[in-house]
């Protein structure tokens, strides 16, 4: 089971933005798309960072509403932890847990190819476990 399998079901579309956008626009994008994080990219599509709901809340808690007019670059997580298409789901879950990351940009051949959340990983893992459980019950019933 690899990250590519999750993305093949979920889709590979990633909402991105430039580091010069302001936090207010980021908040609007998060709400509009019903997502928890945006990947920050440069003009060439290179991943520079990630900004999540948690980052927005932290900015507002520290600096008040004025933070919403600041550029994303001031509050994004630089050099984010990333996954590869070929990474196993177990490795990805372990990385997310140990690094305390809820979202990982996914690379394929060095280019952004998707984004997985902890919810995506857990949902996929539960489905696989349920399928294994169903197969075991069928096997036992046939014996």
Q: Over the stretch 46-92, which tens digit does the pLDDT of each residue have? A: 999 999 999 999 999 999 999 999 999 999 999 899 999 999 999 99
Tally of domains within the chain: 1
Q: Which domain, by its residues, includes 79?
A: 3-142
pLDDT at 143 over 80: no
Q: How far apart (Å, rounded) are the C-alpha atoms in residues 1 and 125?
A: 9
**What contacts 15, CB < 8 A, 6 or more positions away?**
29, 33, 35, 38, 39
How large is the average pLDDT for residues 131-141? 88
Greater confidence (136 vs 62) lies with 62
Of the pLDDT bands very low, low, confident and very high (cuts 50, 70, 90), residue 139 is: confident
Contact call for residues 56 and 75 (beta carbons, < 8 A): yes
* Per-residue model confidence as pLDDT tens digits over 26-55: 999 999 999 999 999 999 999 999 999 999
Host H or E run for residue 54: helix 53-63
- Report the CATH number that the domain containing residue 116 is assigned in CATH: 3.10.580.10
């Amino acid at each position: 089971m690899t990250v590519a399998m999750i993305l093949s079901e979920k889709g590979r579309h990633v909402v991105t933005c430039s580091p010069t956008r302001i936090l207010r626009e980021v908040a609007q994008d998060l709400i509009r798309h019903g997502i928890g994080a945006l990947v920050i990219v440069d003009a060439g599509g290179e991943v520079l960072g990630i900004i999540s709901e948690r980052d927005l809340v932290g900015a507002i808690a520290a600096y008040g509403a004025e933070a919403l007019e600041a550029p994303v670059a001031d509050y994004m997580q630089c050099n984010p932890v990333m996954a590869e298409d070929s990474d196993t789901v177990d490795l990805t879950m372990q990385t997310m847990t140990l690094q305390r990351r809820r979202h990982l940009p996914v690379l394929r051949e060095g280019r952004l190819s998707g984004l997985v959340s902890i919810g995506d990983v857990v949902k996929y893992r539960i489905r696989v476990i349920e399928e294994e459980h169903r197969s075991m019950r069928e096997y036992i019933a046939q014996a």
